[in-house]
Structure 1
Amino acid sequence: MRKAYKILYKEGTGELTEKKSRFIASFCPVKTEEEAQAFIEETRKKYWDASHNCYAWVLGKNGEGKRCSDDGEPSQTAGKPMLDVLEGEEIVNICVVVTRYFGGTLLGTGGLVRAYSGAVKEGLKSCTVLTLIPARKLLIDTDYNGVGRIQYLLGQLKLITLNSEYTDRVMLTVLVPDEEVLKLQTDITEATGGKVVLEICDSIYYGMHEKEVLLFPEG
């Protein structure tokens, strides 16, 4: 069974200062290791004079692709804490680079872990994260007598109508979450006395951003 998952949709940045050291978190949506590496290199060039550019990324619907780097900081004090934050938030298709400008005071192991993870948390506040819901497009072909009943059912379930065509019959294209498809088919058939043609089409994911419906392919 497909499950909903969260992705980074729009990038963001965040910054914190700890004992005069600056920690700048930069985020980018990525789908492949190549895209993640390209973003890391771009960030390194942007902050070429920084002490460290540590990174972490998570790829794939199930977070199966992941990697992190301390970039010269003591082992397990930067990349792993950054990755832990991403995994804790359950966000995938995301890459973050935390740039450090050394302020002259050593932070110690615990201080570094708090600073790097804290920078990631701060940066996430400025990012746009979408929850993608598995769904199917359902084509509904009915006569005008059945439209009212069908629209009532769609309204009760708060389903999204993607397209409506009114000719000698009515054709509706509705976005239906996976777990509601079978029940909706049964309810519509019963409500119209079977005078309806239903066709399950594309298997997709969708998310909502500022009241806009965003569709994403299965892959």
Structure 2
Amino acid sequence: MAKRSRTKMSNVEKKVRRLMGRALQRYELINADDRILVALSGGVDSTSLLWLLHDRLGRIPITYKLFAVHVGLGFKGEDYSSVQAWVKSLGIPHQVIRSEFGPRAHSAENRENPCFLCSRLRRTALFEEAGRLGCNKIAFGHNLDDLIETFLINIFYGSQVATMLPRQPFFNGEITVIRPLALLDSGTIRSFHQKQSFPLTVNPCPSKNSGKRQEIRELL
């Protein structure tokens, strides 16, 4: 269980805690005895989310179990070691799934958008791992900007007006996806991440600065 911090909180930490707490309560994201798989890419959002959920255990009267799971994409130059060591220092159970999803999505055989295929493969792997670990929830680090971007992508490029939801049940409620950072904008999370000096894994994907999502970000 995380220990309550004795240091004075910065304003950005207070804001992050307040808005995540509001999302957890408003959307009823976490219940007592939940087993939560945290999808840990090693980026700003997912590392911040893992730490916040871990730290929250020492501040609330209910308990839940966290499992950090990283899906390696198989790109050359991937280095997850600093984040892996950090998770170990927190005492959180941790799994690394090795894959070739990245190269497969960018291969000539793939007729789909590489980001779409890679996302689907990663999501499938996470659901399978959640089942293996007996987890009833999967926590993603999607923030408010991600939800807005997805909404606009569906308007401009899709056939429906929809976005990601803070809480989405799957398989008749057997597993529920939760997004505790849904009320936080990306800038606030970045500031919090920098203030806390969390480790960071650089994304080596060749498509990270292209595609429909990047077009929407530039529009915004």
Give the structure-2-normalised TM-score: 0.26
More helix by share: 2
Higher normalized strand content (fraction of residues) = 1
Give 1 or 2 for the bigger CA radius of gyration: 1
Give the TM-score normalised by the residue count of structure 1.
0.26
